[in-house]
Amino acid sequence: MNRIVQGDNLNILQAMAAESVDLIYVDPPFNTGKRQARKQIKTIRDEAGDRVGFGGFRYRTEILEQQNGGQGYRDSFDDFLGFLRPRLVEAHRILSATGSLFFHIDYREVHYCKVMLDEIFGRECFQNEIIWAYDYGARATKRWPAKHDNILWYSKDPKQYTFNLNESDRIPYMAPGLVGAKKAARGKTPTDVWWHTIVSPTGKEKTGYATQKPLGILERIVRVHSNPNDTVLDFFAGSGTTGAAAAKHGRSFVMIDESATAVAVMEKRLVAFSPRREDSPPPAVRKPKRRAPASQRSRQ
């Protein structure tokens, strides 16, 4: 069954059964210190505008749409690892015996997160650090432009895990002339460096959700690291890219996000797969007070 759940992921993960999902991908907030919100603007010719633009005319800028009323989601934590740790402990508990976690982060935090995940999963369960390399946007001129994200792969068991390499898409050889025509036409399997463009701001994949990740990256993870009918979980789901990849390849999905905007985007994006919409489970029911022994109870 496909599910979209709204709420703080910690409560929801705690309510999930042990070993109940086969693959987890998460792309938590990166602790950039910014608020992540997508703004759409329009420039209008206006004699009283504050900018001089094309043809020497004056222009003003109007904001057409702001995600979450301009608030987006918080991407700054006093204690980033303290926030992540209990969630990743739960992730480890609910992964099946042959399951894997894919943890997507950026170069500023990856080393701290790797040490923490080594503690939770065991160093022997660390399989790869995948570098997702892209080349888009402004280029720094005072240092090398940072154009990659890091994806850490941990298996629950170091010896037994789903890895269907033959299910991977294939990529072109760098020097096709050095291999035969047949091999060149077939391409090769990827390494741990994945070149993939970002979601095009004007392409049809775009949902409008800030920080949306490319479907191609998630499809590769889903195809290689899970089997048809498996359950795939993303508990920082955003626009639901993981759910879209899972459903496209015949897996079930559980998508969790606390943001109403994210849930609305996912409901629209994943409607064809009839997800059940749920809210976070109510806080744990308080135990009823123990009745005082009969001898201490006042007589009526």
What residues line the site for ligand SAM (CB under 6 A)? 8-9, 27-29, 73, 209, 211-213, 236, 238-239, 241, 256-259, 262
CB of 273 to ligand SAM, least distance (A): 16
Give 98 or 226: the residue with its C-beta nearer to ligand SAM.
226
Residue 295: exposure state from Cβ atoms within 10 A (0-12, 13-18, ≥19): exposed
Whose Cβ is closer to ligand SAM: residue 91's or residue 98's? 91
| Interatomic CA distance for residues 230 and 47, integer angstroms | 60
Contacts of 226 (CB under 8 A, 6+ apart): 22, 23, 162, 232, 246, 251
Q: Judged by CB, which is closer to ligand SAM: 114, or 269? A: 269
Closest to ligand SAM by CB, 10 or 120: 10
The distance of Cα 109 from the centroid of its chain, to the nearest Å, equals: 15
Quick check: 213 and 27 in contact, CB under 8 A?
A: yes
Work out the number of other CB atoms within 10 angstroms of the CB of residue 82. 10
Among 185, 189, 167, which residue's Cα sits nearest to residue 176? Answer: 185
Q: Closest separation between CB of residue 68 and ligand SAM, Å?
A: 9
CB of 279 vs ligand SAM, minimal distance in Å? 12
- Output 158 or 208, the one with its CB closest to ligand SAM: 208
At its nearest, how many Å lie between ligand SAM and the CB of residue 227? 22
Nearest to ligand SAM of 57, 107 (CB atom): 107
- On whether the CB atoms of residues 195 and 258 are closer than 8 A, the answer is no
As a whole number of angstroms, the distance between CA 263 and CA 245 comes to 17
Q: Residue with the closest Cβ to ligand SAM?
A: 238
In the DSSP assignment, the letter for residue 57 is -
Beta bridge partners of 292: none
Which residue, 213 or 251, is less far from ligand SAM as judged by CB? 213
Least distance between ligand SAM and beta carbon 6 (Å):
8
73 token code pair = 């989601």
Least spacing, CB of residue 219 vs ligand SAM, in Å: 12
The DSSP output letter for 18 is T
Structure tokens belonging to residue 40: 């759409």
Shortest Cβ 176–ligand SAM spacing (Å): 32
